[in-house]
Amino acid sequence: METKRQERIQKLLQRDLGEIFQRELIHVTKKAMVTVTKVTVTPDLTLARVYLSLFATDDKAALMKTITKHTKEIRGRLGERIRYQLRVVPELHFFEDDSLDYIDRIDNLLKNDQ
């Protein structure tokens, strides 16, 4: 069970990372649209798992690799934004959120059965 502090930090990180991806990391995301769908933080607030939804890209794996390669830069920009809320900027681990693809797959299967 997550504490209230963890929930607040998760919302803060989700909002700030979303803004960073959309406004400051255009050179990394190129023309793809990157959305932060979920952030989970460990109880000691040292590790954040960031789930990303990737749109308008042909090669999602290559984009995830590029984002992972720029983790240090993303963490630095995040640190500039949250330096007054957190003492230590959490280590970031990025994962692709494929829940929308899963929903589409189920929807297509249901349409085909009718």
What are the tens digits of pLDDT across the range 18-56?
999 999 998 888 888 999 999 999 999 999 999 999 888
Q: Rounded CA gap, 55 and 43, in Å?
A: 31
Phi-psi region for residue 13, left (φ > 0), alpha (ψ -120 to 50) or beta? alpha
Q: Which CATH architecture has domain 4-113?
A: 2-Layer Sandwich (3.30)
Confidence of residue 16 (pLDDT cuts 50, 70, 90): very high
Q: Which helix (H) or strand (E) holds 69?
A: helix 60-69
Report which listed range, 20-34, 67-81, 92-106, is most confident: 67-81
Domain ranges within the chain, ordered by starting residue: 4-113
pLDDT category of residue 108 using cuts at 50, 70 and 90? confident
